[in-house]
Amino acid sequence: MPPTPDPTPAALPPTLPAPTPGRTLLVLGHGSHLNADSARAVHAHARTLQGAGFDEVLTGFWKEEPSLRQVLRTARYREVTVLPAFISEGYFTEEVIPRELGLRHQGRVPDGGVTETVAGRTVHYLRPYGIHAAMTGVLLDRAREVCPTWTPERTALVVLGHGTRRNPRSKEAIEAAARRAGATGLFAHAAALYLDEPPHAADWREHTGGLDVIMVPFFASEGWHTLDTMPAELGLSGPVSHLDGRVVSYARPVGTHPAVGSVLTRLVQEAPARPAPVAADHAAAWAALATAAEGGLDVGELRVTPQPDGTFALHHAADAGAPGLTRVPLDDLATWTGRDNQGEHRPIRTRRGLPRGWQARVPRDDLRAALHAVYPAVTEEAHAWDAGKLPVTPWADTAARQSGRYRPVRRATPETVQAARERLCAGCLRTPLWAGEPLAATFLSGGTGLPCAEACTLLVSDVAHLLEAPHP
């Protein structure tokens, strides 16, 4: 787990040293509103990168929390390296992520990355790992897993990508991987095929002659596409299918292979980050949380209670005094609280539905990690709101910067946005400041409020759906 912050200098006894300078690594992924599969690989990468020399490693997501808009605020240090855990360059790595992080840079990221100052932090934004030449070895490992031996003259390799018409460069990493694998001489032919653009995966027969075929999804994670969409498009019945008299082997995605860890480690260690002091806003927020927790604290549906031995107990507020609560280790807390009691994925953690029946016990130094696991970014944003330093983004501005499949929300009427608010925000513990709702005091300043400074992607997505098919 990431190390926890020390209190602010003002809260420290005079004999304690100032916090040591350090570096934060942010590993960013797509995430999903629907299931936890997509984020799983990103969390695994972050665990691997704990040993890469950074003082803390955090994650952030497009469709989950902490969101790309929130995540920089959760970084403890003023020096932040950002690694997009994406398989190819293109729409997300060159447009969406830089824009949402607040970088001025748009477009191709040069070798060595882009360095900018955002929200008081020096941000080193890197290229995605999928473009690294070492991914060819990972690709071949995946092929060998599903098909331990093959005859090169009788076997074709198909590298499967998602593809998108929104950015022609998203194909480059997949094409390069197919080219490099083909150059090994291990296959009679190597081709790159796509789900969403030509040449289409569904036409694989046209691109492989009468050869046996090994297909490897060049995807960052296991999920809907690799488990459902792709096998259905390809007409496969399992890892090994017999089709038209030939053997077709379908591998697991490259992004979940353990060897990706060494590719990631090499990438982030080449980044130019130097240790820097703790960010003042971050230190102040967590000092305020620690002080408030000493008297017992409710944060949303979570209750934090100081214990006589100096630790803190965390559980659902409605479980106070309940017997038989399951003890959850700190390392499992994010996963445990990422589903509700019906097992449904909770991409926006502050929507009601924190599961019941568990408890965690953490020392004071781990309070930050525990709160971050249950309600990421909430403490930093609440403290900023109380200090008058949380910028609020009105709906019109959020809508105006949407692109791709969310671009249509620019034409949403106030009534449509209101309908989405009633469907989603009504079940959320945050106060939608972006819609003009008032919030007097947060849980850090004597109230119970949790600020929402701008519409989350779940709400944006709901507005888009309402435009496509208005609900009755």
Q: Do the Cβ atoms of 462 and 417 come closer than 8 Å?
A: no
- Residue 409 Cβ, how far from ligand SF4 at the closest point, in Å? 13
Choose which of 49, 101, 178, 348 interacts with ligand SF4 (CB under 6 A): 348
The residues facing 248 across adjacent strands are 213, 241
- Whether omega before 66 lies within 30 degrees of 0, making that bond cis, reads yes
The tokens describing 404, both together, are 């791709």
Nearest CB to ligand SF4, comparing residues 103 and 417:
417
CB of 410 to ligand SF4, least distance (A): 17
Q: Rounded to whole angstroms, how far apart are CA atoms 160 and 139?
A: 11
Q: Judged by CB under 6 A, how many residues of this single chain contact ligand SF4?
A: 13
Q: Would you count residue 195 as binding ligand SF4 (CB under 6 A)? A: no
Asked whether 65 and 371 are in contact (CB, 8 A), the reply is: no
Q: Is 452 in the site for ligand SF4 (CB under 6 A)?
A: yes
How long a stretch of residues is the chain? Answer: 472
Q: Is 424 in the site for ligand SF4 (CB under 6 A)?
A: yes
β-pairing verdict for 312-316 and 302-306 = antiparallel
Q: In whole angstroms, what is the distance from residue 196 CA to residue 277 CA?
A: 45
Q: Quote the DSSP letter at residue 454.
A: S
If 0-12 CB within 10 Å is exposed, 13-18 middle and 19+ buried, where does residue 308 land?
exposed
**Which of the ranges 90-98, 130-138, 344-352, 362-370 carries the binding residues for ligand SF4, by CB under 6 A?**
344-352
Strand pairing report for 246-250 and 240-243: antiparallel
Question: Based on CB atoms, which residue is closest to ligand SF4, 229 or 393?
Answer: 393
Residue range at the interface with ligand SF4 (CB under 6 A); choices 104-112, 138-146, 346-354, 382-390? 346-354
The 10 Å CB-count burial string (b at 16+, else e) for 237-276 is eeeebeeeebbbbbbbbbbbbeebbebbbebbeebebeeb
Q: How many CA atoms lie within 13 A of 243 on its CB side?
A: 21
* Cα(282)–Cα(73) distance, integer angstroms: 7
Interface stretch with ligand SF4, choices 138-146, 165-173, 209-217, 428-436 (CB under 6 A): 428-436
Stretch that binds ligand SF4, among 112-120, 165-173, 320-328, 420-428 (CB under 6 A): 420-428
What is the longest distance spanned by two Cα atoms in the chain? Answer: 78
Contact with ligand SF4 (CB under 6 A): which of 432, 442, 461, 464? 432
Site string for ligand SF4, 96-135 (x = CB under 6 A): ----------------------------------------
Under the binding rule (CB under 6 A), the answer on residue 463 touching ligand SF4 is no
Q: Does 215 bind ligand SF4 (CB under 6 A)?
A: no
Does residue 27 touch ligand SF4 according to CB under 6 A?
Answer: no
**Minimum gap (Å) between residue 353 Cβ and ligand SF4:** 12
Residues 368-397 touching ligand SF4, rule: CB under 6 A, are none
User: Which is nearer to ligand SF4, 348 or 384 (by Cβ)?
Assistant: 348
State how far the Cα of 255 lies from the Cα of 272, in Å rounded to an integer.
25
Exactly one of 71, 177, 213, 459 binds ligand SF4 (CB under 6 A); which one? 459
d(CA 160, CA 344): 30
Question: The tokens 């109380």 sit on which residue?
Answer: 386
Query: Residue 351 or 383: which CB sits closer to ligand SF4?
Result: 351
Closest CB to ligand SF4 among residues 333, 348: 348
Give the distance, in angstroms, between the CA of residue 316 and the centroid of all CA atoms in the same chain: 25
How far apart are CB 72 and ligand SF4 at their closest, in Å?
Answer: 17
Binding site for ligand SF4 (CB under 6 A): 348, 350-351, 424-425, 428, 430, 432, 452, 455-456, 458-459
